[in-house]
Amino acid sequence: MQNIQTFQSHTPQVAQRVYVHSSATIIGQVQIGDDSSIWPSVAIRGDVNFIQIGAETNIQELSSLHVNHRSPEDPQGAPLVIGNRVTIGHMVILHGCTIEDESLIGMGSIVMDKAVVQRHVLLAAGSLVPEGKVLESGYLYVGRPAKQVRALTSEEIIHLKQSAAMYVKLKQAYLDEAV
């Protein structure tokens, strides 16, 4: 595929039943898990470090995913690791951070280097997570910078899983139409 590009001998690895829109771009050290979806105009650039995207995760339109390089001062750099059943909303910027399982990153949010969004976090649209900040599991975060607002209800935690499941069904419909 034209939109999946090798860089410095690293070819993106795309698992089974993954939907990648033809306008998305995936470069270099990138792994994408089963049943995930990459929607229109997404850029995933694993050129100076690696990007790992789990299973049943969706990256929505116009999102930008990148990393920070390794150096003598910082041998690990800042890779980007996204867990399973994660929803990344439209126009999100993820840069060298970790997003754990069953979380939702709202539209237009930015998550910076070495920040960690733990499992079952809802990050409201337009939020900014500064470098190195940890968002604790089970909470809603809002704002620039993101602040913990309240604990998530059990219904909201179920909704995080349902959001990912809905995108698995939607991407399958797109794959079925392409056959």
Assign domain 4-178 to a CATH class.
Answer: mainly beta
Tell me the Ramachandran region of residue 156: left when phi exceeds 0, alpha when psi lies from -120 to 50, beta otherwise. alpha
- Listed residue (27, 33, 34) closest to 12, CA to CA: 27
Where do the H-state alpha helices sit in the chain?
Answer: 154-178
Per-residue pLDDT of 113-141, as tens digits, reads 999 999 999 999 999 999 999 999 999 99
Radius of gyration in angstroms for the set of CA atoms belonging to the chain, rounded to a whole number: 15
Is 50's pLDDT higher than 80? yes
Residues forming beta bridges with residue 98, ordered by sequence position: 81, 116
Per-residue pLDDT of 5-14, as tens digits, reads 999 999 999 9
Domain ranges of the chain: 4-178
| Residue/partner pairs of 115-121 with CB below 8 Å, 24 or more apart | 119/83, 120/152, 120/157, 120/160
Per-residue pLDDT of 8-37, as tens digits, reads 999 999 999 999 999 999 999 999 999 999
pLDDT attached to residue 69: 95
